[in-house]
Amino acid sequence: MAIFDPTIDSSDTIRATWAEVDLGALRRNFRLIREKISAARHVGMMLMVKANAYGHGLVEVTKALSDIADCVGVAVLEEGVLLRREGVNTPIIVMGGIWGDQIPHFIKHDLILSASSVDRLSQIDDAAKAMGRRATVHLKIDTGMERGGIHYFNAHKLQEAAIKCDSVDVLGVYSHFANADAEDLAHAKLQLERFQEVLAFYEKMSRPRPTAHMANSAALLRLPESYFDMVRPGLLLYGIYPSPNVPNNIGVSPAMTWKSRVVYFKVVPPDHPVSYGSTWKSDHPVRVVTIPVGYGDGYFRSMSNRSQVIINDRKHPQVGTICMDQLMVNIECDSAYNGDEVILLGSSESESITVEDMAVWANTVPYEVLTAINARVPRVYI
């Protein structure tokens, strides 16, 4: 096992709160997804590791899976640079927005840029010429997200400009679904039609089509016509289905378990409020234990008096306002001792707490739950 945490040395005693990441589970998930998408023909797979690999650890996850991926997808320049410095040689595409002064750094570190406008493409071409290098790009098309990328109805301008570039190689063209996880797929199908129209440009111009990709986790499960040349599974890779509307039929399993330990035990008398704001109290004596995890670690304050944890194979409610570094749990008349393991996310022999459970408690989405677990929580890799 290896420990990744920028705040401690691996020779130090590990914190009483930690996250276990099963790299073997991630590789199995990757292969299960590849088996589904390649049933009829080979389709490439991008390894999405943005936002610290959805909270699982950017460097360790990439190193564990990059040998079976066609390319690696990140969101920002710094993620790509870090992976290059860590010796990752797989093609890396940075899918987030960029500004002009960053472009030479992309080229220096052999990172693939997302070109989302004619002006940006021109800047990339000029920078590559000045460096005596060639830049590699994927053209980013907005088919209905209204975030980044050139509008689909103007995409031909970007495609034509790309043909004229002297120092740019266009390796791909892509778009992103806004509603592939919704119950109604009408908008997703409209986006798909728009992207297909954009891709028709290459046939009309009698030019080879760059690698086309659009499918995220939800589209991968529901819209096989969106596979094109490559897919981009995100949350699904980490063993979580993106919404209740998608079929749960691949067999992926969560790769992360979040744990802590009991560090304090006391009996709280009746009518003695617990924690800031006095938001909870009991009408009878209860046993309350303190757990060293809080919103400073990514355990949302909004889950106060709503969440549960598992101690000794039993679920118990968190009580009182969640603090920055600690939370309290009501175990009623059960027993717990300092050092007893606490499962915040994951399964014991007979109980389970899922990312979806935590998302409901926090009134958010599973994506935010995972990516909010910050670097103060050591990752232990299995």
Catalytic residues: 50, 276
Whose structure tokens read 């080879």?
Answer: 208
Distance, CA of 41 to CA of 135 (rounded, Å): 30
Whose structure tokens read 């096992």?
Answer: 1
Distance, CA of 270 to CA of 125 (rounded, Å): 71
Q: Are residues 93 and 73 in contact, defined by beta-carbon separation less than 8 angstroms?
A: yes
Buried b (16+ CB within 10 A) or exposed e, 132-156: eeebbbbbbbbbbeeebbbbbeebb
Q: Is 321 helix (H, G, I), strand (E, B) or coil?
A: coil
CA distances to 150, 175, 194 from 145, in Å? 11, 9, 12
Q: DSSP characters for 115-130?
A: E-SHHHHHHHHHHHHH
How many Cβ atoms from other residues are within 10 Å of residue 20's Cβ?
Answer: 17
Q: Are residues 86 and 41 in contact, defined by beta-carbon separation less than 8 angstroms?
A: no
CA distances to 40, 165, 207 from 195, in Å? 22, 23, 17
Distance, CA of 214 to CA of 174 (rounded, Å): 6
Q: Is 373 helix (H, G, I), strand (E, B) or coil?
A: coil
Distance, CA of 126 to CA of 101 (rounded, Å): 12
* DSSP tally for the chain: helices H, then strands E: 11, 20
Any idea what the Cα angle at residue 258 is, between residues 253 and 376, rounded to 5°? 130
Of the candidates 312, 315, 319, which has an alpha carbon nearest to the alpha carbon of residue 290?
Answer: 319
